[in-house]
Amino acid sequence: MKTVRKSIIALTVFSIGLVTIFFLSTGFKKMETNQKTPTTHIVTIYQMKFDPENIKVKKGDIVEWVNKDFVPHDVTEIDKKWTSKPLKQDDTFSKVITKDFNYFCSIHLVMKGSVTVTN
């Protein structure tokens, strides 16, 4: 009987161990997922400038431009591959970033900015 009891105890300890390992591994998976959560970077458009003018982000991050000027602005890729609609005051434009690009405001050609992807 003592042997049976010992094996029951051994089995219980083993099971608890397995459950612990299971929860630890799912916990680590959650941490990995959290690290990949994209960050949203705000670029404020104010007094005819993009602020910050040059921004570094991770691949998959989001950049959101917010127009704080009275006059409308837009965000246009340097080679005009894409453009936002004209943004009125407090309008926003968001983009998921997959690669570097330079951009400007097609309404005011002097307004320029860049987005750089870092690892």
**Number of amino acids touching Cu ion (CB under 5 A):** 5
Return the residues of window 100-119 that contact Cu ion according to CB under 5 A: 105, 107-108, 111
The alpha-helical segments, DSSP class H, found in the chain are 2-35
Q: Which is nearer to Cu ion, 43 or 105 (CB)?
A: 105
CB of 105 to Cu ion, least distance (A): 3
CB of 50 to Cu ion, least distance (A): 9
Our measurement of the distance from residue 7's CA atom to the centroid of its chain's CA atoms, rounded to an integer in Å, reads 51
C-alpha 46/C-alpha 34 separation (Å) is 32
Q: Which two tokens stand for residue 52?
A: 């910050």
Q: Which is nearer to Cu ion, 22 or 82 (CB)?
A: 82
| Ordered DSSP codes for 23-57 | HHHHHHHHHHHHHTSPPEEEEEEETTEEESSEEEE
Return the residues of window 43-102 that contact Cu ion according to CB under 5 A: 73
Q: Which is nearer to Cu ion, 45 or 97 (CB)?
A: 45
Which residues contribute to the site for Cu ion (CB under 5 A)?
Answer: 73, 105, 107-108, 111
